Structure 1
Amino acid sequence: MTDPSDHLLNFVVVGRLSDWTLPYWCHMFALTFTSVAREWFEKLSDGQIKSCDDFVAKFSHHFSQQKKHTRDPSEILDVVRRSNESIEDSITRFNNESLNIGRVSEDMFRGAFRKNVKSDDLIRTLTSNDGIPKHGTR
């Protein structure tokens, strides 16, 4: 089971594109379940779900422990180049980490990037052109 919010978002997008009626939403929602979610659904007793909103709320609550953890944006400052890591590998890892952290301000991203790269020549090259790559456009 993935993050229930991701599952719901994907489901809602498909439902809106398909222009489903409300009762159809509930039936289709149950059909999207696999493995653990299917087992949970099959154990629900008759009458336990009162509405489609109730169904979604019960699903979200039951699988809430699998919700993705939101990381603090300041964690970007902890991503530093390792002693045995090439600049290219370090930048790749930095970009991947920054995408996982999310919501990092432009200034914090730039400062963390400079701290991570530890290459004056590369920083000069980047800042002499268009500046350090914009956060979110990597």
Structure 2
Amino acid sequence: MSGLLEMIVPAEAGQLKALRDATRDTLLAAGVAEALCERLVLAVGEAAMNVVQHGYRGAPGEITLEILNNPGELLFRLHDRAPPVNPSTLRGRALDDLRPGGLGLRFIRELMDRVDYLPPAEGNGNLLEMRKRWRPRQGEESPQMNANERE
């Protein structure tokens, strides 16, 4: 597994554009098709915003993002030191509940192939791992790949 990106940003809404931009640049440089790249940037941005809003709740803190490339799979890790969250209590809002906000978890789960909340090695905070199968733009088509992820 090769590391594509590791960055730390303050847990502030205004700092998340830099995180999204770095994610986009990294994925495009790795050969991820633009349409898939934008969906992955959305998922990472939603996860980071959840940390800011629901994890730190306005308190100062940091978010660490790692992007790793495994043959055929991208791994995104978001680590924070906010109070630990109980993953069994996390629920996305129903799509027919029409009001602003509250769809981040739904987007993350629908855009990624696997989402895991893990205990961080340091023992404090939260570690979110998100995985997505993919193939480079010039590569062969993967049999697991969703039709809307093909170029």
More strand by share: 2
TM-score for the superposition, normalised by structure 1: 0.24
Kindly name which structure, 1 or 2, has the bigger radius of gyration based on alpha carbons.
Answer: 1
